Chain A
Amino acid sequence: MITVQFELNGKAVSVDCPPERRLLELLRETFHLTAAKPGCGIGRCGACMVWIDEQPVNACLVMAWQLEGRRVRSYENLATSTESAPVRDALARCGGLQCGYCTPGLAMTLTHLHRLEPRPKRDEAALLLAGNLCRCTGYGGIRRTLAQLFDPAIQAPLDESTPT
């Protein structure tokens, strides 16, 4: 067992747990924050995405000992913040979610990309989003969301269905 102290959604927290305990499990079981989802547990689906020190990270791959002194932000916190408002709005308006299970993870990644300076172009953003699997949408609504949030790389006609 170790004691880890880190910042979670703006508050200092401390937990005693085995050093290899995954952040995803800490969030869900210890802190009862269930927006991060256990889709695969091995870093393949992105449903468990959180931010650590402002960088998107799969919470299922992070162990407790790695958290000491870090700043963790989960979607519960982001969902009520203005930073994610354009992303949430675009996802809703563009049909970027269906069942919604991938949505918190997707919104974590998208918001991160949208806040980056300089903001990535649409094709770069699409590339960086390939780690967030969605089984429902076929990515159609997610592409439209990207078109709403990110400029195309080169001068292209303003066509939402233009592939990224």
Chain B
Amino acid sequence: MNTPDHTPDLTPHRLIDHAGLLALARPRPDAAAKLAATPFPSDHLGDQALHGAILGSPHPHARILAIDTRAARALPGVHAVLTAADIPGTPCYGLRHVDRPVLCADKVRCIGDPVAVVAADTAEQAHAAVAAIRVDYALLAVVDDPLHALEAQAETVHAGGNLLHHLHHAHGDLGAAVAACEHVVEDEYHSPRQMHAYLETEGGIVEHDDDGRLVVRFGCQNPERDRQVIAGILNLPPDRLRVIGTPVGGSYGGKDELTIQPLAALLALKTGRAVRLHLNRGESTDLGVKRHPMRMRLRSGCDADGRLRFIEADILADTGAYATHGPEVLDAAIEHVVGPYAYDAVSLRGRLAYTNNGIAGAFRGFGAVQTQFALERQIDRLAALAGFDPLCFRQRNLAAPDAPGPLGQHVLPFDGPHRALDVLRTHALWTAPHRHADGRYLYGTGLALVHRSDGFGKGGPNAARLVLALAADGKLELRAGFTEMGQNLIGAATRMMADHLHCAEDDVRIVLGDSALTPDSGPTAASRTTSIIHRALRDHGPRWRAALVDAARVDVELPSAARTAAGGLVSEAGHPVLDYPSLARQCATTRPTLVIDLPAEETPSDIPAAHLVFGASAALAQVRVDSWSGQVKVERLVLANALGPVISAEGLLGQMEGGAVMGQGMATIEDLPSPGGRYAARNLDGYFIPTLADAPEIEVLAIENLMADDPAGPRGAGEISVNVAVPAVANAIAHATGLTVTRLPVTPDTVLDHLERQA
């Protein structure tokens, strides 16, 4: 029945199951250091470092009338009390929009917005000084709702108005497509303000080194960009700064943009001393970015044969007080709301509003996860109306592997969505009944399918520079300005180096995240690093292997077919000729390096922010809903990932399991409301994240196939598990309870209300 007409003839899946991944998994190269309590940036206490403290705004929206720091300056132990007037260079920073003041001068736009910053001998003295600063505010109307923010009479958060970004995309004949529909579903979906809740709150130290540089050590995702921006703020040449951003105690996008580094650097510059700054959880909650809450009106329909004909979407996102990544998040939301499906017509509209609700920014899943939740709910609802099994309905509606992308752009041909569905089709969890009740408990199984982009959209920071070098001790180094945040970048890079250089993993060293040692590789974000390192080594590895052999030839007679191998250079027959440490000693003055400049690989289509490369994942979620308490327990998640060859099994498992539980949290418990511009919680006693007791049993499957001649190679695995888990859990709850899930998280109250109405 229901023969999917877009399903191409698939070559056999190259499938690695969960047990297979476990068998391939090995300890992370950095596990030993982490188990030996190697310090994180916020653990660096420095020598006689001053303590920094920030005076943040107590109001969500206010004009600053006057700041009086005299009393604070006079307190014992205080070395500096700085305000906006003390910034030597650019007073604001930002990505596409430079709208965020380092220190607020004329107005504050959210709770915690920094107004002044202090350095003192002790933390107590710093806090006493902060308390002694007097600021006179004139309160402004608080804009705490993105819809109201866009009304004509709304108070403006920024001078240019509250509409930060908007976009519209349409193709196809919408009227005809709607007319062809037998079933149409229309609803408004709401996604929550999720908190990253990295366990290491923002913190670090700025020190002065012997070369007269300021050394900024804070966990981050792009040390080189941070260096440039901080240099601009301090009005210093960039080479007076060194930024070290690795390792990071969790980020998930939340430490991508600068937060407090400029403040610490400013204090260090002004005092001539080392300065530490480390936010407590409450301050981190106030100042850290969150996931953009979105209101999503979707309308889509299918014909009597269960073929999707059109989708209309109207997305409104709340970016809070400052832009950071907001515009790109909205772009991603729009690009992904279409999904991997085919339609006759699409009409998409997105708006991004400034409000006084904290600050929203980059978060794993990045705009897409919100709209994928809404879309996958629509798909399930249409499938039910049209009388199709949800999986068959999806199969039936997949765009062909070589079809244009969601915005009509040229994309790399990809059959991942077809494969992911095909793998789940026969899974025992799917062939079993999708809902049943057992006394007090209601069980449901939900399905979701997502595809998601790799890297940044067209026009984004997609280029990267990497360096290969022979180190003095003979290690073959890969130097990259990326950071290790737990994603196992070091492990994946080590594996790729060994593979492409034909050497042993022990011969390799990965040098990351230090602007003095590593090149500008662009952001450690957008699931891009593995793909970039893969491309670099695939395309330039042979040249580098030859360069190592050539370097040896300068002084040593080598057999003509000498090559790189584990431990050193070997003859054609594999006999050792020269080990790498000896090679390094030999060419002490002219050790070879290779600078690799990878150009941006973007879609040739002239569509701003559109992506070229996609990966895919399909998931099954099984939930158990307690009809007495309304509580949802996610019992099982099965993730079938079509992301190309597995580079690091332990990395893939970790990213899938971690992201899936983060998605589960978003679907079931996590939300940070902001009534009146004030977050409803400031710590983990009011904002809950999943514990070990909440975590489901997770099964990860890897489908390694890519299309013949696919030029991109492995797709990033860092985000897609969040993207797919959220809609899968939402659909499972809907199946278990019959609730029309339109709002996340699904709270016990919602469930109980629904069950009561049904009874």
Interface of A with B (CB < 8 Å)? Answer: 28-29, 32, 34-35, 37-42, 44-45, 47, 75-76, 79-80, 88, 91-93, 95, 97-104, 107, 126-127, 129-144, 160-163
Q: Whole-angstrom distance between the alpha carbons of A88 and B30 in the complex?
A: 13
Across the two chains, which residue of chain A brings its CB closest to B34? A100
25 chain-A/chain-B pairs, Cβ below 8 angstroms: A28-B43, A29-B123, A34-B45, A37-B200, A38-B278, A39-B199, A39-B684, A40-B683, A40-B684, A41-B281, A42-B684, A95-B25, A95-B650, A95-B654, A98-B488, A99-B486, A101-B40, A135-B198, A136-B486, A136-B658, A137-B658, A138-B662, A140-B653, A141-B653, A141-B657
Task: Tell me the minimal C-beta distance from B4 to chain A in angstroms.
Answer: 31
> Could you list 9 further interchain pairs (A-B, Cβ under 8 angstroms) beyond the known A138-B661, A139-B657?
A32-B45, A45-B684, A92-B27, A98-B488, A133-B691, A139-B661, A139-B691, A140-B656, A163-B696
Structural contact, B660 and A133, CB atoms closer than 8 A: no
Size range of the chain B interface in the assembly = 35 or more
Which residues of B642-665 are within 8 A (CB) of A? 650, 653-654, 656-662
B37 CB contact (under 8 Å) in A102, A104, A132, A136: A104
Q: Which residues of chain B have C-beta atoms less than 8 A from A42's C-beta?
A: 281, 683-685
Structural contact, B35 and A103, CB atoms closer than 8 A: yes
Across the two chains, which residue of chain A brings its CB closest to B26? A93
Kindly list the 6 A-B residue pairs having the minimum CB-CB distance in the complex, ordered from nearest: A99-B486, A140-B657, A100-B34, A101-B249, A98-B486, A138-B661
B654 CB contact (under 8 Å) in A39, A47, A80, A98: A98
Across the two chains, which residue of chain B brings its CB closest to A44? B684
Q: Which residues of chain A have C-beta atoms less than 8 A from B659's C-beta?
A: 138
Interface of B with A (CB < 8 Å)? Answer: 18-19, 22, 25, 27-28, 30-32, 34-37, 39-40, 43, 45, 123, 196-201, 247-252, 278, 280-281, 485-488, 635, 650, 653-654, 656-662, 683-685, 689-693, 695-699
Structural contact, B31 and A91, CB atoms closer than 8 A: yes
Interface centre among A75, A97, A140, A160 (most CB of B within 10 A): A140
Across the two chains, which residue of chain B brings its CB closest to A35? B37
Task: Tell me the minimal C-beta distance from A110 to chain B in angstroms.
Answer: 11
Structural contact, B35 and A135, CB atoms closer than 8 A: no
Q: Whole-angstrom distance between the alpha carbons of A92 and B696 in the complex?
A: 21
A44-B685, A45-B199, A91-B35 known; A143-B695 Cβ under 8 A: yes
Main SS at interface, chain B: loop
Across the two chains, which residue of chain A brings its CB closest to B659? A138
A101 CB contact (under 8 Å) in B199, B684, B689: B199
Q: Which residues of chain B have C-beta atoms less than 8 A from A34's C-beta?
A: 37, 39-40, 43, 45
Structural contact, B695 and A138, CB atoms closer than 8 A: yes
Structural contact, B653 and A103, CB atoms closer than 8 A: no
Structural contact, B36 and A79, CB atoms closer than 8 A: yes
Q: Which residues of chain A have C-beta atoms less than 8 A from B198's C-beta?
A: 99, 101, 135
Q: Which residues of chain B have C-beta atoms less than 8 A from A28's C-beta?
A: 43, 45
Q: Whole-angstrom distance between the alpha carbons of A136 and B32 in the complex?
A: 17
A138-B698, A160-B22 known; A126-B693 Cβ under 8 A: yes
Across the two chains, which residue of chain B brings its CB closest to A32? B45
Structural contact, B35 and A97, CB atoms closer than 8 A: yes
Structural contact, B697 and A41, CB atoms closer than 8 A: no
Task: Tell me the minimal C-beta distance from B513 to chain A in angstroms.
Answer: 13
A88-B35, A160-B22 known; A142-B692 Cβ under 8 A: yes
Task: Tell me the minimal C-beta distance from A62 to chain B in angstroms.
Answer: 17
Q: Which residues of chain A have C-beta atoms less than 8 A from B39's C-beta?
A: 34
Q: Whole-angstrom distance between the alpha carbons of A64 and B43 in the complex?
A: 21
Q: Whole-angstrom distance between the alpha carbons of A104 and B695 in the complex?
A: 21
Q: Which residues of chain A have C-beta atoms less than 8 A from B689's C-beta?
A: 133, 135
Q: Which residues of chain B have C-beta atoms less than 8 A from A130's C-beta?
A: 691-693
Across the two chains, which residue of chain A brings its CB closest to B195? A135
Structural contact, A99 and B247, CB atoms closer than 8 A: yes
A92 CB contact (under 8 Å) in B35, B249, B660, B692: B35
A99-B248, A135-B250, A138-B658 known; A163-B35 Cβ under 8 A: no
Task: Tell me the minimal C-beta distance from A96 to chain B in angstroms.
Answer: 9
Q: Which residues of chain A have C-beta atoms less than 8 A from B45's C-beta?
A: 28-29, 32, 34
Q: Which residues of chain B have C-beta atoms less than 8 A from A35's C-beta?
A: 37
Q: Whole-angstrom distance between the alpha carbons of A107 and B32 in the complex?
A: 13
Task: Tell me the minimal C-beta distance from B326 to chain A in angstroms.
Answer: 23
Q: Whole-angstrom distance between the alpha carbons of A11 and B139 in the complex?
A: 55
Task: Tell me the minimal C-beta distance from B606 to chain A in angstroms.
Answer: 39
Q: Whole-angstrom distance between the alpha carbons of A40 and B22 in the complex?
A: 33
Q: Which residues of chain A have C-beta atoms less than 8 A from B22's C-beta?
A: 144, 160
Structural contact, B654 and A141, CB atoms closer than 8 A: yes
Q: Which residues of chain B have C-beta atoms less than 8 A from A99's C-beta?
A: 198-200, 247-251, 485-486
Across the two chains, which residue of chain B brings its CB closest to A139? B695
Structural contact, A92 and B28, CB atoms closer than 8 A: yes
Q: Which residues of chain B have C-beta atoms less than 8 A from A40's C-beta?
A: 281, 683-685
Structural contact, A100 and B695, CB atoms closer than 8 A: no
Q: Whole-angstrom distance between the alpha carbons of A45 and B250 in the complex?
A: 14
Structural contact, A102 and B693, CB atoms closer than 8 A: no
Structural contact, A133 and B684, CB atoms closer than 8 A: yes
Task: Tell me the minimal C-beta distance from A9 to chain B in angstroms.
Answer: 12
Q: Whole-angstrom distance between the alpha carbons of A126 and B695 in the complex?
A: 11
Across the two chains, which residue of chain A brings its CB closest to B33? A100
Q: Which residues of chain B have C-beta atoms less than 8 A from A104's C-beta?
A: 37
Q: Whole-angstrom distance between the alpha carbons of A137 and B691 in the complex?
A: 11
Q: Which residues of chain B have C-beta atoms less than 8 A from A162's C-beta?
A: 697
Q: Which residues of chain B have C-beta atoms less than 8 A from A39's C-beta?
A: 199-201, 281, 684
Q: Which residues of chain A have C-beta atoms less than 8 A from B695's C-beta?
A: 138-140, 143
Structural contact, A140 and B698, CB atoms closer than 8 A: yes
Structural contact, A97 and B37, CB atoms closer than 8 A: no
Q: Which residues of chain B have C-beta atoms less than 8 A from A161's C-beta?
A: 18-19, 697, 699
Q: Whole-angstrom distance between the alpha carbons of A132 and B692 in the complex?
A: 8
Task: Tell me the minimal C-beta distance from B653 to chain A in angstroms.
Answer: 6
Task: Tell me the minimal C-beta distance from B335 to chain A in angstroms.
Answer: 26
A136 CB contact (under 8 Å) in B35, B250, B280, B650: B250
Q: Whole-angstrom distance between the alpha carbons of A143 and B697 in the complex?
A: 9
Q: Whole-angstrom distance between the alpha carbons of A133 and B18 in the complex?
A: 24
Q: Whole-angstrom distance between the alpha carbons of A80 and B698 in the complex?
A: 33
Q: Which residues of chain B have C-beta atoms less than 8 A from A29's C-beta?
A: 45, 123
Structural contact, B486 and A100, CB atoms closer than 8 A: yes
Task: Tell me the minimal C-beta distance from A85 to chain B in angstroms.
Answer: 10
Across the two chains, which residue of chain B brings its CB closest to A47? B199
Q: Whole-angstrom distance between the alpha carbons of A99 and B33 in the complex?
A: 11
Structural contact, A38 and B201, CB atoms closer than 8 A: yes
Q: Whole-angstrom distance between the alpha carbons of A163 and B149 in the complex?
A: 47
Task: Tell me the minimal C-beta distance from B683 to chain A in angstroms.
Answer: 6
Structural contact, B683 and A44, CB atoms closer than 8 A: yes
Q: Which residues of chain A have C-beta atoms less than 8 A from B654's C-beta?
A: 95, 98, 136-138, 140-141
Q: Whole-angstrom distance between the alpha carbons of A39 and B30 in the complex?
A: 21
Q: Whole-angstrom distance between the alpha carbons of A98 and B308 in the complex?
A: 41
A138 CB contact (under 8 Å) in B35, B280, B657, B699: B657
